[in-house]
Amino acid sequence: MLERRQLPQEQSTDTDYFIYCLEGVDDIETIQVTEAQENLEQLAMKYGIASIYNTCDTIEGLEDSLNALVLDDHNFKDYEIIYLVMTGEANSICLNDYYYSLQEIAELFEGRLKGKILHFSNAKILDLDEEEAQYFLDITNAKAVSGYGNAFDGISSAILDKAFFNLFKEDDDMFAVVEELHQRYYDVCKVLDFRLYY
């Protein structure tokens, strides 16, 4: 079910670093190349960062996809970042016109996201209070949740997302990465309101 795209041998790097991207779509039967897919292709070609891309259109699809990754993929430990491209509100995601709170998502994946960073594109804003963020991290065992305080509004977070993922390839110190991201892309970080909850 999960498909890992390998780079051509001559371009591959020694690093075992993968991104798992799950995108919320209206209908998983409709095949179309999305901006997220194109960005992951660019990451692979330019920076040698491999990824798995999957879509879901229901909460069950989300659960099945992440369960398949967590339970069936023996490389799961190599995935530092789970990249979620979904619409929603401050502390929820929207799939097929249904809203699910991050609290509900946390309970679905109780204890299973140990050491992972869940990163949301700015298809949705991420605005958690301290209690909500702490609950999510405590329940899932995730290392952090990141995203943006400002919604899409014509400016995609794709460039910043790619920079964030590439910096992680170079340095696995989360705080150093975020600091570097703000130094290199200060204006974009400010406009999109990059956030990290840990």
Cα separation, 48 vs 76, in Å, equals 18
Q: What is the pLDDT of residues 24-43, one digit of tens each?
A: 999 999 888 999 999 999 99
Residue with the larger pLDDT of the pair 65 and 78:
65
> What number is the average pLDDT over the span 170-178?
89
Instruction: Give the Cα-Cα-Cα angle 165, 54, 117 (nearest 5 degrees).
Output: 35
Q: Is 152 part of any domain?
A: yes
For residue 22, the surrounding DSSP H or E stretch is strand 18-24
Specify if 17 maps to a domain.
yes
Identify whether 6 is part of a domain.
no
Answer yes or no: is 87 within a domain.
yes
Q: Are 72 and 33 in contact (CB under 8 A)?
A: no
- Mean predicted confidence (pLDDT) in 152-181: 89
**CATH number (domain holding residue 193):** 3.40.50.1460
* Number of domains observed in the structure of the chain: 1
Indicate if the pLDDT at residue 73 is higher than 80.
Answer: no
Determine contact, residues 101/92, Cβ cutoff 8 Å. yes
pLDDT at 16: 59
Give domain status of residue 157, yes or no. yes
Inter-residue contact 85 to 19 (CB < 8 Å)? no
d(CA 181, CA 142): 21
Q: Cα dist. 184→19, 144, 190 in Å?
A: 22, 21, 12
Sole residue written with tokens 């975020």: 178
Specify if 2 maps to a domain.
no
Nearest C-alpha neighbor of 108 from the set 22, 4, 2: 22
* Lowest-pLDDT choice from 34-38, 50-54, 152-156: 152-156
Confidence (pLDDT) at 74:
66
Q: What is the DSSP letter of 118?
A: E
Residue 156 lies in a domain: yes
Q: 96 vs 37, 60, 62, 82, CA distance in Å?
A: 20, 11, 12, 21
Give the tens place of pLDDT for each residue, 113-135.
998 999 999 999 999 999 999 99
Contact 160, 192 (CB under 8 A): yes
Structural domain containing residue 43: 13-197
What's at 162, amino acid-wise?
K
- The model's pTM is 0.87
Residues listed for the chain: 198
pLDDT by residue (tens digit) across 6-26? 333 333 344 456 899 999 999
